């Protein structure tokens, strides 16, 4: 029985990896890290939507509860050749974005946004009534569409944030 517990303990130590640093609870540093992550996500979204020559949507009629908008951005997406006909082909260098908006019957607005290049996810974001409730940027130190991704991180609405392997606790508002 003891050798099994010892084996489980050794396995848990190996899976845990190196010791993590303490949580950073300084409100100024935590808010600055949150703003950095949100600003980088906004730049990525804006650049992807600006460099997209076209998009397609499923909202042809009014009153849809779920609207999906998709687009492709990149070097070869939508250049007009001499013939004047747009030849859009997907290549691994292109960035694909998808924005899903769900209108709930209780009046809430749920949005999901995903930005990916090839098989790599660059940005995933969820919003509820315009407020970010979950944000993930898993890739750092790369150049996408002329925008440098310098930081990677994860933001949770519950008040926790990870930015470049540093963990932060956001200050709670006073009630």
pTM given for the model: 0.74
- Are β-strands 160-163 and 166-169 bridged in parallel, bridged antiparallel, or unpaired? antiparallel
CA atoms of 86 and 53, how far apart (whole Å): 10
Give the pLDDT of the chain (175 residues) as one tens digit per residue. Answer: 444 444 444 434 333 444 456 788 889 999 999 999 999 999 999 988 888 887 888 866 666 788 999 998 865 544 444 554 455 555 666 888 999 999 999 999 999 999 998 888 999 999 999 999 999 999 887 777 777 788 999 999 999 999 998 999 998 876 6
Q: Residue 10 is inside which H or E element, if any?
A: helix 2-16
> In the chain, helix, strand, coil percent, each to 5?
20, 40, 40
Tokens 């509860």 map to which residue? 65
CA atoms of 25 and 33, how far apart (whole Å): 12
Burial of 49-75, coded b for 16+ CB within 10 Å and e otherwise, reads: eebbeeeeeeeeeeeeeeeebebbbbe
- The secondary structure of residue 162, as a DSSP letter, is E
pLDDT digit string, tens, across residues 59-99: 666 667 889 999 988 655 444 445 544 555 556 668 889 99
CA atoms of 97 and 174, how far apart (whole Å): 37
The residues, any chain, with a CB within 8 Å of residue 173's CB and separated by 6 or more, are none
Name the nearest CA neighbour of 52 among 103, 112, 119, 99: 99
């Amino acid at each position: 029985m003891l050798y099994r517990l010892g084996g489980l303990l050794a396995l848990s130590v190996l899976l845990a990896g190196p010791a993590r640093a303490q949580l950073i609870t300084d409100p100024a540093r935590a808010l600055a890290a949150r703003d950095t992550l949100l600003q980088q996500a906004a730049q990525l979204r804006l650049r992807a939507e600006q460099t997209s020559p076209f998009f397609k949507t499923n909202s042809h009629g009014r009153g849809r509860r779920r609207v999906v908008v998709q687009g492709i951005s990149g070097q070869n997406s939508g250049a007009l050749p001499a013939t004047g006909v747009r030849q859009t082909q997907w290549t691994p260098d292109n960035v694909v974005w998808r924005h899903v908006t769900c209108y709930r019957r209780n009046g809430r607005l749920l949005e999901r946004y995903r930005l990916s290049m090839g098989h790599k996810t660059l940005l995933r974001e969820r919003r509820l009534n315009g407020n970010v409730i979950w944000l993930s940027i898993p890739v750092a130190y790369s150049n996408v569409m002329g925008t440098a991704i310098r930081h990677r991180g994860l933001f949770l609405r519950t008040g926790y944030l990870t930015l470049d392997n540093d963990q932060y606790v956001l200050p709670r508002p006073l009630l």
